[in-house]
Amino acid sequence: MAQHSQALDLEEALTAIRQQLPSPCEQETCVLEAALGRVLAQPIDAALPLPPFVASAMDGYAVRSADVNADSTYTLREVGTSFAGHPYPDHIPAGHCVRIFTGAAVPKDADLVIVQENVAEQLGDHVTFVPHTTQENHIRDIGNDVDQGQRLAEPGERITPFMLGQFAAAGISTLQVFPRVRVGIFSSGDELRDPGTPVEELAYGQIYDSNRLTLAKLLDDLPIHCIDLGCLPDDPNKIDDALGRATDACDVLITSGGVSVGDADYIVERIRQHGELAFWRLNLKPGKPLAFGQIRKRWIFGLPGNPISTIITALLVAKPAIAHLAGTTMSTPMKIPAILKSSITHTTGRTEYQRGQFEFDDNGYTVTHTGEQGSNRLSSFRHANCLIEIDKTQGDMQIGDPVLILPLTNLLH
Ligand code: AMP
Ligand code: MG
């Protein structure tokens, strides 16, 4: 494993991760109903054309266009009906029409559907039409949407509801997908108590563990099995035991806390002891200490413990990495140019991601930061709908300055 002793920029870290992490080699069969969010392992080709027969796009009358009169009213005799699922089986004689509804098969001789709004009156089987021109035939030919055998999706694509609809329509009922990645999540720190512990039982100096829950939910939409592994104490032997046991059941371990340079920070040291450390510092704010490596042949991300640092590094580093392990391409997050509506204090050296609230109006995108940005302040995410990226080369920024924003909706899914 390539080892980097210096602090890496975010892009360098993602490249290093991409170079280390393999693509999945196993695959499994999945029914459509269970396939949302899974990653395709094999291409999907349509089993039939769509539509599979010549179909009407409107409610109206199927006719021969030679019988239509654009200059005056004209009358045709109705010989039958074609409903969706119940086609009219015979020929249409000249001067006749077939009542037809959206999605029904267009009878053989018809080359035009006249919409029912063009009917002047109907007396018995005599249908009289108003004069009209026919720019549109309101007929969907075989394969007008999808040809038989057409490629609908490639390996590596994640299944969306839209794809599921198209696969179902195209006669596909099962898919080959990559297995879910088994992701074990630990917290770390003697001060942490499980959420649900009564407030009065919280001893002086203790806090609730919020990172484990947040991490599990931040990764929730990925095709993974998320395994809650509890909390690691600040004790190297116990950390070794717990990490060792976890490597049996997980492909990836994520820890938060204990990754910095404090006297009770053991994660980096334990990775070095029992595995390999690729890097452990980023030029990133928040999120400077971040360890990535292997321990007992499993991947491990040691995220920083401050809740905002945990969230930012999970979104920008761990999540794309796990998506890669799950078989998708590690895509770069969407960035939108915006204009600052509040000034920002920033020291050069590390690229910073502040929480912001963007708006879109006639002048384009503008963004305001959400107030104090300390890495412990979960309240900085209240009202945030984006991250504001402030490059490491940038100094203080003023109202009116251009900046890039990363919408949270895009980072979350
Ligand atoms: P550490 O990196 O372990 O020194 O942790 C940095 C800060 O994050 C400390 O204030 C910790 O108490 C806090 N912290 C660490 N883990 C968690 C967690 N799971 N939930 C909430 N806060 C945490
Ligand atoms: Mg700690």
Q: How far is the CA of 251 from the centre of ligand 1 (A)?
A: 24
d(CA 331, CA 220) in angstroms, rounded, equals 18
Q: Mapped to the 3 state alphabet, what secondary structure does 11-62 carry?
A: HHHHHHHHHHCCCCCCCEEEEHHHCCCCEECCCEECCCCECCCCEECCCEEE
d(CA 179, CA 298) in angstroms, rounded, equals 16
Q: Is the dihedral of CA 120, 122, 126, 127 positive or negative?
A: positive
> What's the confidence (pLDDT) of residue 313?
98
How confident is residue 248, by pLDDT bands cut at 50, 70 and 90? very high
Answer yes or no: is the C-beta of 210 below 6 A from any ligand 1 atom: yes
Residues 128-162 pLDDT 10s: 999 988 789 999 999 999 999 999 999 999 999 99
How confident is residue 187, by pLDDT bands cut at 50, 70 and 90? very high
Checking if the pLDDT of 30 tops 80, the result is: yes
Answer yes or no: is the C-beta of 255 below 6 A from any ligand 1 atom: no
CB neighbour class for 336 (10 Å; exposed up to 12, middle 13-18, buried from 19): middle
Residues 82-118 pLDDT 10s: 999 999 999 999 999 999 999 999 999 999 999 999 9
Q: How far is the CA of 188 from the centre of ligand 1 (A)?
A: 7
d(CA 168, CA 148) in angstroms, rounded, equals 14
Q: How far is the CA of 383 from the centre of ligand 1 (A)?
A: 23
SS3 of 74, please?
strand
> What's the confidence (pLDDT) of residue 331?
80
Residues 355-372 pLDDT 10s: 999 999 998 999 999 999
CB neighbour class for 306 (10 Å; exposed up to 12, middle 13-18, buried from 19): buried
SS3 of 159, please?
coil
Q: How far is the CA of 254 from the centre of ligand 1 (A)?
A: 14
Answer yes or no: is the C-beta of 306 below 6 A from any ligand 1 atom: yes
Note the ligand closest to the C-alpha atom of 305.
Answer: 1
> What's the confidence (pLDDT) of residue 1?
86
Q: Tell me the domains of the chain and their CATH numbers.
A: 10-15+180-325 (3.40.980.10), 28-50+144-177 (3.90.105.10), 55-140 (2.170.190.11), 336-412 (2.40.340.10)
Q: For residues 164-174, give the mean pLDDT.
A: 98
> What's the confidence (pLDDT) of residue 385?
98
Checking if the pLDDT of 185 tops 80, the result is: yes
Residue from 186, 188, 190, 192 whose mutation best tests the ligand 1 pocket (most atoms within 8 A of CB): 192
Answer yes or no: is the C-beta of 354 below 6 A from any ligand 1 atom: no
Q: How far is the CA of 294 from the centre of ligand 2 (A)?
A: 21
210 Cα nearest atom in ligand 1? 20
Mean pLDDT for the chain overall: 96
Residues 279-304 pLDDT 10s: 999 999 999 999 999 999 999 999 99
Residue from 211, 229, 269, 303 whose mutation best tests the ligand 1 pocket (most atoms within 8 A of CB): 211
Contact criterion met (CB below 8 Å) for 266 and 258: yes
Answer yes or no: is the C-beta of 192 below 6 A from any ligand 1 atom: yes
Kindly state the tokens that stand for 283: 């030029």
Residues 383-413 pLDDT 10s: 999 999 999 999 999 999 999 999 999 999 8
Q: What are the residues facing 360 on neighbouring strands?
A: 365
187 Cα nearest atom in ligand 1? 19
Ligand 1 atom 1: residue of nearest CA: 257
Q: For residues 41-47, give the mean pLDDT.
A: 98
pTM: 0.93
Rounded to 5 degrees, φ, ψ at 317 are -120, -60
Note the ligand closest to the C-alpha atom of 185.
Answer: 1
Q: For residues 299-318, give the mean pLDDT.
A: 98
Q: Using a pLDDT cut of 90, give the percent of the chain over it.
A: 96
Helices (H), 37-169: 161-169
> What's the confidence (pLDDT) of residue 183?
98
Note the ligand closest to the C-alpha atom of 189.
Answer: 2
